[in-house]
């Protein structure tokens, strides 16, 4: 019997290019839908979300990277969640959603390489039970679009996508806002018929 899966749109804001030397500032997750092995069912991504702002784990940061999110690093140092608490909390949330939907979580991002790198590293470094997504239960929306449109990866940008695939929500660089926006992009891609090209 095929196990159902639910798709979790993820967005990360960070203060540098890689985890470890630099810190994840915030992350947002939004559940986009469920696939039961036969059909995909969209879910309102606003209904099941998780958001956290984290304390920095090092003194190093890139001012340009930090500026993208607009988050204040001094405030995060005072008020952000400890990474161990945040990663255990999101793992518990994912387990609750998994029980509710009777499905396993799949991580979605655009592009996957950046957001997955941060979240996987933080799960493995700080969560008691490691990654709820295993080491590879993830989907890159950039590659997904390239495959569905028969486009080269280098041309698989949001600017090149048909407008009906894009969410009407603004891209704010708030991790939760952007995760919800990206969930809607994924839903539109799942419904998309190539004949519409």
**Average pLDDT score over residue span 80-84:** 98
- For the stretch 85-126, pLDDT in tens is 999 999 999 999 999 999 999 999 999 999 999 999 999 999
**Average pLDDT score over residue span 157-173:** 88
Q: What's the confidence (pLDDT) of residue 136?
A: 96
Check pLDDT > 80 for residue 196.
no
Check pLDDT > 90 for residue 174.
yes
**Helix (H) and strand (E) counts for the chain?**
6, 6
Its pTM stands at: 0.94
**Average pLDDT score over residue span 22-41:** 96
Which helix or strand (DSSP H or E) is residue 112 part of? helix 112-126
Q: What's the confidence (pLDDT) of residue 2?
A: 61
Q: What's the confidence (pLDDT) of residue 167?
A: 87
Check pLDDT > 60 for residue 30.
yes
* Cis status, amide bond into 79, omega within 30 of 0: no
Check pLDDT > 70 for residue 11.
yes
Q: Which residues contact 107 (CB under 8 A, 6 or more apart)?
A: 8, 10, 115, 116, 119, 133, 137, 138, 139
């Amino acid at each position: 019997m095929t196990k159902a899966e639910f798709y979790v749109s993820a967005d990360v804001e960070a203060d540098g290019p890689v985890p470890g030397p630099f810190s994840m500032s915030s992350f947002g997750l939004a559940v986009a839908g469920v696939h039961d092995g036969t059909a995909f069912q969209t879910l309102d991504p606003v209904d099941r979300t998780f958001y956290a702002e984290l304390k920095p784990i090092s003194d190093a940061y890139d001012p340009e990277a930090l500026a993208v999110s607009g988050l204040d690093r001094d405030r995060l140092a005072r008020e952000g969640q400890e990474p161990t608490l945040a990663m255990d909390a999101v793992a518990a949330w994912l387990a609750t959603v998994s029980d509710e939907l009777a499905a396993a979580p799949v991580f979605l991002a655009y592009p996957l390489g950046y957001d997955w790198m941060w979240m996987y590293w933080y799960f493995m470094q700080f969560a008691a039970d490691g990654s709820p997504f295993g080491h590879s239960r993830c989907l890159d929306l950039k590659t997904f679009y390239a495959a569905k449109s028969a486009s080269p990866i280098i041309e698989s940008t949001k600017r090149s996508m048909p407008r009906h695939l894009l969410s009407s929500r603004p891209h704010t660089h708030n991790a939760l806002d952007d995760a919800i926006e990206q969930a809607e992009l994924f839903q539109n891609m799942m419904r998309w018929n190539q004949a519409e090209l």
